[in-house]
């Protein structure tokens, strides 16, 4: 999302220039790094490789090129998918079937993760399904906003299931969320800092706003600050992503 047209060498050069210590990647979108994935993985920790399929939606076995799938499995890199709502027994069965299908096709060493990206399923529903099927989570801050998650429940979920956290600056504009610099949504960014306090999993920044270097500096500053004054419940300024300061 941040560097969609970068080749593998260019992606590595750009990530080093902004001081990044890890990277997450999107597969299957024609992005230029994909044929040289091993070059990236040898030089930089890859937090996860993402595809656009949904667990519980009847996933394909061929989620990405076979060479890429074998490489991420060999390296122990999680494969990130989205997840369908898990509101009833039939949905849970579809989720379980998809997990079994993928592990049957690619072996038991395939690490799976889902991203909290929508208003469903709830963190409570995900908690049970992920625990039962040994699936991790990429905790996305936009998903937490859409869920209206409390800080305490979001942190508990992150510490139980999180393989990574994906951070973005967002604001609500004409009924839709758009990417902005983290500094443009300061209360949400402070809330994110409180979410991450003491966590020891990788954090990545996603942006379409062209602010990667600025966002990384902002995130490091906010993580280092204490956020004791934030309420446990998501305040309106956070849930609506309207800049508060």
Please state, as a whole number, how many other Cβ atoms lie within 10 Å of the Cβ of residue 171: 17
Entry pTM? 0.90
| Predicted local distance difference test score (pLDDT) of residue 23 | 94
Q: Considering Cα of 103, then 108, then 111, then 117, what sign does the dihedral take?
A: positive
Please state, as a whole number, how many other Cβ atoms lie within 10 Å of the Cβ of residue 97: 14
Q: Per residue in 90-132, pLDDT tens?
A: 999 999 999 999 999 999 999 999 999 888 999 999 999 999 9
Domain parsing of the chain, residue ranges: 8-239
Q: In 3D, which of 244, 178, 242, 245 has the Cα closest to residue 210? A: 178
Query: With contact defined as beta carbons under 8 Å apart, do 49 and 68 qualify?
Result: yes
Which CATH code for domain 8-239? 3.20.20.150
| Predicted local distance difference test score (pLDDT) of residue 243 | 41
| Predicted local distance difference test score (pLDDT) of residue 149 | 87
- pLDDT tens per residue, the chain (245 residues)? 677 788 899 999 998 998 899 999 999 887 888 889 999 999 999 999 999 999 999 999 999 999 999 999 999 999 999 999 999 999 999 999 999 999 999 999 999 999 998 889 999 999 999 999 999 999 999 999 888 888 889 999 999 999 999 999 888 878 788 899 998 888 888 888 889 988 899 999 998 888 989 999 999 998 888 766 666 666 565 655 544 33
| Predicted local distance difference test score (pLDDT) of residue 188 | 84
Q: Which DSSP state fits 215?
A: H
């Amino acid at each position: 999302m941040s560097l969609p047209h970068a080749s593998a060498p260019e992606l590595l050069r750009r990530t080093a220039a902004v001081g990044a210590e890890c990277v997450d990647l999107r597969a299957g979108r024609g992005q230029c790094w994909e044929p040289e994935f091993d070059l990236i993985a040898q030089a930089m920790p890859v937090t996860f490789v993402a595809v656009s399929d949904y667990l519980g939606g009847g996933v394909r076995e061929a989620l990405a090129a076979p060479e890429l799938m074998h490489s991420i499995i060999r390296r122990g890199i999680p494969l990130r998918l989205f997840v369908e709502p898990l509101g009833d027994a039939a949905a849970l069965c579809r989720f379980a079937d998809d997990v079994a299908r993928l592990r049957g096709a690619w072996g038991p060493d395939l690490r799976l993760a889902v991203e909290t990206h929508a208003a469903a399923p709830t963190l409570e529903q995900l908690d049970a399904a992920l625990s039962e099927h040994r699936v991790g989570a990429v905790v996305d801050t936009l998903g937490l906003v859409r869920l209206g998650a409390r800080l305490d429940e979001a942190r508990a979920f992150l510490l139980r299931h999180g393989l990574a956290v994906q951070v973005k600056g967002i604001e609500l504009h004409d009924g839709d969320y758009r990417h902005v610099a983290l500094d443009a949504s300061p209360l949400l960014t402070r809330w994110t800092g409180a979410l991450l306090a003491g966590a020891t999993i990788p954090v990545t920044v996603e942006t379409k706003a062209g602010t990667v270097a600025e966002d990384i500096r902002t995130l490091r500053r906010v993580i280092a600050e204490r956020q004791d004054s934030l309420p446990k419940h998501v305040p309106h300024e956070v849930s609506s992503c309207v800049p508060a300061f």
